[in-house]
Amino acid sequence: MTAETPAIRPPIAMLAELTHRCPLSCPYCSNPIELALQEREIDTETWKSVFRQAADLGVLQLHLSGGEPASRRDLEELVGAARDAGLYTNLITSGIGLSERRLKALDEAGLDHVQLSLQGTDAAMADEIGGYRGGFDRKMKVAGWIADIGFPLTLNAVLHRRNLHQLPRAIEMAVEMGARRIEVATVQFHGWALKNRDTLMPTREQAREADRIVTEARARLKGTLVIDYVPADYHSDYPKRCMGGWGTTGLNVAPDGKVLPCHAAESIPHLTFDNVRDTPLRDIWYEGSAFQAYRGTEWMSEPCKSCERKTVDFGGCRCQAMAIVGDASATDPVCIKSPHHGALVAQADAHAASVEARLVYRSAPGKPVVEPVD
Amino acid sequence: MQPEDVPYLPRGVRVHRDRVRDAWVLLAPERAITLDAIGHAILTELDGERSFGAITEALAAKYNASPDEIAQDSAGFLRALKDRRFLEVR
């Protein structure tokens, strides 16, 4: 560290991917293509230790995710341990695998908040996208139990070309469910979603219409429903400040104990990741090579290096630069200053205009990817 | 915020001592907000029973200020929390 390098601050949030197992097989799953097997998952006691280490390190918010976190039988015990460590506990779930009994046990364990995903606003859409028949009906039951218990709820609507027309109904559903917040998340093209760009890429018109719907709903529902919005990435002029800045705000623990600066970081082949099985979380955060790789601005080249926005968005997403440009230290091609921006725009329009290809569903851990054949 | 309103923190929103950063924070769904001394003083007065008027009077006595001043200082803060659904009023 040189004198000009700002001190590394403690992380605020940790995403704990408890498992890659999931009853659904959404074609935009953010899990890596190479899924962790159940026998490689870290055990209950290791997770508990990780939660205590995280709290000692300065983490305030714990997001329990997956895969489907309810696929872990020890979920209730893990929530209790996280609360005991002093963490705010957020369960990110599809609802599948939760019963009224389990939700009551999670309530007793001290669960603070539930984020429920929405694949579509009716059974036909939701079950097709999730690849799980009966999933939507079950989810609606779970939403009812969540409301009965009184958990604060966020509805997380994942949107793409197939279901963007359902956005107004998704917002209505959030209000009907008593959610305080909805995340309107346009699919980000990482992991499995990269395989499905021809099917999922929104059109420019859809992206604009979503902007309009969100702006209108925010004004109309002020004080009733908070709307957090992730706009369509490829149709933007500037990239997102990914992860709040690499190694500044959050960290992600994968099911096998690997610690990642973001959930897609394994797509950057030259990075190596430390594991909570052999290294203290504190050392990984402050000294781990994957976290140091893109911290701050030293690693940047042009056009980022001399850009006035370099500490606004930190050059955007490293994984996207890797996936599109083939260089993780390049400017995110979403940026209008990137020499690859024009190609990305053309690519986005081509994907959006493509004749509907078949969806490539996420597979189960250890199972091969099933590529559709016509 | 009217004097007779009873503001309270709903389930899932709580004041937390951040021992690592040596600060008070408000923890809410997927948010953590650092509280200054005034924010912390106001939020710890909310008990779900006393009205905004009673709370501003209590704070005025405690900090040797006028209730109007306290009400003015805190109304904007509480309204911002309410807009984000981190605060309810009954």
Answer whether A35's CB lies under 8 Å from A361's CB: no
Strands B23-28 and B31-35: antiparallel
Helix, strand and coil percent figures for chain B, each rounded to 5: 40, 20, 35
Taking only the tens place, the pLDDT of each residue in A157-170 is 999 999 999 999 99
Cβ pair A60:B27 closer than 8 A: yes
Q: Is the pLDDT of residue A374 over 60?
A: no
Domain assignments of chain A as residue spans, ordered by start: 11-369
Residues tagged in the binding site annotation of A: 22, 26, 29
Annotated binding site of A for [4Fe-4S] cluster: 22, 26, 29
Evaluate if residue A62 carries a pLDDT over 50.
yes
CATH (residue range B12-89): 1.10.10.1150
Q: Report the C-alpha gap between A179 and A56 in whole angstroms.
A: 31
Task: Pick A226's closest partner by Cβ from B10, B18, B84.
Answer: B84
pLDDT grade for A48, boundaries at 50, 70 and 90: very high
The contact set of B with A (CB < 8 A) is 10-13, 16, 18, 20-21, 25, 27, 29-32, 82-85
pLDDT band, residue A5 (cuts 50/70/90): low
| Summary mean pLDDT of chain A | 94
The token pair at A276 is 């909570």
Q: What is the pLDDT of residues A310-325, one digit of tens each?
A: 999 999 999 999 999 9
A vs B: CB pairs below 8 A: 56
Sign of the four-CA dihedral A31, A258, A16, A186: negative
Banded model confidence at residue A97, pLDDT cuts 50, 70, 90:
very high
A19 at interface of B, judged by CB pairs closer than 8 A: no
Confidence at residue A233, expressed as pLDDT on a 0 to 100 scale:
86
Percent of chain B at pLDDT above 70? 100
CB A272 within 8 A of CB A291: no
**B contacts of A112 (beta carbons < 8 Å):** 12, 27, 29
pLDDT at A191: 87
Asked whether residue A10 carries a pLDDT value surpassing 60, the answer given is: yes
Supply the pLDDT for residue B17: 97
Domain A11-369: give its CATH code. 3.20.20.70
For residue A2, is pLDDT > 50? no
Lowest pLDDT segment from A2-6, A17-21, A140-144, A202-206:
A2-6
Q: Provide CB contacts within 8 A for A302, sequence distance 6+.
A: none
What are the distances in angstroms from CA A222 to CA A214, B76, B81? 12, 15, 12
What is the average per-residue pLDDT within A133-155? 98
- How much is the pLDDT for A357? 79
